[in-house]
Amino acid sequence: MLEPTDNLDDHGPGDLPPIPGKRYFTIGEVSQLCGVKPHVLRYWEQEFPQLRPSKRRGNRRYYQRHDVIMVRQIRNLLYDQGFTIGGARQQLSGEGARQDLNQTHQILRQMRVELEDVLQLLRR
């Protein structure tokens, strides 16, 4: 099984174990590290283009450190933040962040207009 190792403060959200300092992880190890069953990981590979573990002999999956971090991000979006698969995919592609930024700009513009109206009322 997985042994605790010296690693760079890679503690995940909640009570997930730290990511050991090794190069490749099996699907079983990633399952334990991320608190997600192997069949869910295989499904997420189909749904999230960012998650592409390398496959070797006999179609065995080997996840790298960045894949484990991506799985934890996906898990956080779906399980902790309540996103749908499509919403999580959008967040990871950056579209969600752009939409949030556009909404923030709209709110700020509206606030500015309202503050200018208040200022004009105060000047009267």
CATH number at residue 70: 1.10.1660.10
pLDDT digits (tens, 9 = 90+) for 61-103: 999 999 999 999 999 999 999 999 999 998 888 765 666 666 6
The domain of 2 spans: 1-93
Instruction: For residues 85 and 72, state if they share a domain.
Output: yes
Same domain, 67 and 57: yes
Q: Is the pLDDT of residue 9 over 70?
A: no
Are both 81 and 98 inside the same structural domain? no
Residues contacting 4, CB < 8 A, separation 6+: 17, 18, 20
Same domain? For 32 and 60 the reply is yes
88 and 98 inside one domain = no
Question: What is the structure's pLDDT at 5?
Answer: 35
User: 18: which residues sit within 8 A by CB, 6+ positions away?
Assistant: 4, 5, 7, 10, 11, 12
Cβ(68)–Cβ(33) below 8 Å:
yes
Q: Which of the listed ranges 22-36, 80-94, 97-111 does the model predict with the highest average pLDDT?
A: 22-36
